[in-house]
Amino acid sequence: MAEGDGRRHFGDRLAEAVRARRSCLVIGYDPDLDRLPPPVVEPLRRRLAGLGETEALRLAAEVVEQVGRTLVEACAPHAVGVKFQFAFFLALGPWGLGALRRLIVHAQGLGLVVIADAKPGDIASTSTAYARALIGTTPLAGISEATVLGADACTFNPYLGPDSAEPFLAWVDGAGRGLFALVHTSNPGATALQELRLQDGRQVAEAVADVVNSWAMSRRGASGYASVGAVVGATYPEALVSLRRRLPGVWLLLPGVGAQGASPEALAPAFDREGLGGLVSVSRSLLEAWRQQSGDPQGWAAAAAAAASQLQEALERARTAASR
């Protein structure tokens, strides 16, 4: 999406893309080698035997890239975007990062919004480098600059506060990029810290939501939606309802459907009367859909496409529930 859409406001681009593609589904790709489809992993195992570290990483990254292309192409007709889980690519070293860059370009060529899920957040000088790598460009000693990953948006851990967000917000404001700050995560342990009560009665996640909302308020586009979004786990439906109220005009990125147990039906509160406001990312349930369907791993790509189509339909019902 980045190339053609240039520097347009990210919240508006998302609104248009969700309407045009009739989908709020985000294809998740978390390439854990042990969970890739058996017809891919078995030949990979044979080829890896006897290779040195460098060649083994290179080969694994090639396979991860090929599977990613197939997955994204199969599911693209049913989705608005892709979320690449950065950690799995990093685990394959520079070859993994090369594969990630090529997958990002490929997905953007298919018209998909690309989110790099890396969840960085550090003191401002270090956040600057993360932002350059994920959504910006890296200046090269004042002579030139280079795109490293070139995603349309990235996830972000806001725990360090506003100064750590500034370097990302500079790309949001100056280059039409998007930022999704973690507000309430989907994992079982999220409650341990994120639901702690502050002296003023708010939960930590609510206080984080208020900070994120303050970043978003001045960044609303014509659609009414901001270029700063929030990550809210789909596995906590009650938190979703209360955080939706605290974050009007903020795109919510909702992981947790499928493998983590959340269902699309519970997500209706994320959407406004026009069916906007929520993006639902699903990773393992697409790549491993063959297990639930025919059980034939040879058909993994067709199974992923069928699962994406079913999710799109279920999410369309949730998306339009508010307007009924």
Q: Contact at 8 Å (CB) between 182 and 157? A: yes
Per annotation, catalytic residue among 13, 58, 106, 119: 119
Smallest distance from the beta carbon of 54 to ligand LLZGTKA7, in angstroms? 27
Smallest distance from the beta carbon of 199 to ligand LLZGTKA7, in angstroms? 26
Smallest distance from the beta carbon of 297 to ligand LLZGTKA7, in angstroms? 18
103 exposure class (CB count in 10 Å sphere: 0-12, 13-18, 19+): buried
CB of 101 or CB of 284, closer to ligand LLZGTKA7: 284
CB of 84 or CB of 171, closer to ligand LLZGTKA7: 84
Residue 81 phi, psi dihedral angles, 5° rounding? -160, 180
Pairing of strands 278-282, 252-255: parallel
Cα angle 182, 79, 44; round to 5 = 85
Residue 317 phi, psi dihedral angles, 5° rounding? -65, -45
Smallest distance from the beta carbon of 283 to ligand LLZGTKA7, in angstroms? 3
Helix (H, G, I), strand (E, B) or coil at 131: helix
Cα 9 to Cα 29, 173, 178, 231, distances in angstroms: 25, 8, 8, 19
DSSP 122: -
CB of 231 or CB of 239, closer to ligand LLZGTKA7: 231
Smallest distance from the beta carbon of 8 to ligand LLZGTKA7, in angstroms? 26
Kindly list the residues in this chain that would bind ligand LLZGTKA7 in the complex (CB under 6 A): 28, 30, 85, 117, 185-186, 231, 233, 255-256, 258-260, 281-284
Smallest distance from the beta carbon of 186 to ligand LLZGTKA7, in angstroms? 4
**Helix axis angle, 204-217 relative to 237-246, nearest 10°?**
40
Q: Which two tokens stand for residue 235?
A: 């596995």
Smallest distance from the beta carbon of 143 to ligand LLZGTKA7, in angstroms? 36
> Is 119 known to be catalytic?
yes
Q: Which two tokens stand for residue 110?
A: 């298919």
Distance CA 189, CA 194 (A): 9
Q: Contact at 8 Å (CB) between 165 and 181? A: yes
Q: Which two tokens stand for residue 188?
A: 């079982």
CB of 156 or CB of 221, closer to ligand LLZGTKA7: 156
Residue 313 phi, psi dihedral angles, 5° rounding? -60, -45
CB of 176 or CB of 258, closer to ligand LLZGTKA7: 258
Cα 132 to Cα 99, 119, 169, 215, distances in angstroms: 18, 14, 11, 20
Pairing of strands 144-147, 137-140: antiparallel
CB of 202 or CB of 284, closer to ligand LLZGTKA7: 284
CB of 33 or CB of 170, closer to ligand LLZGTKA7: 33
Provide the annotated active-site residues.
119
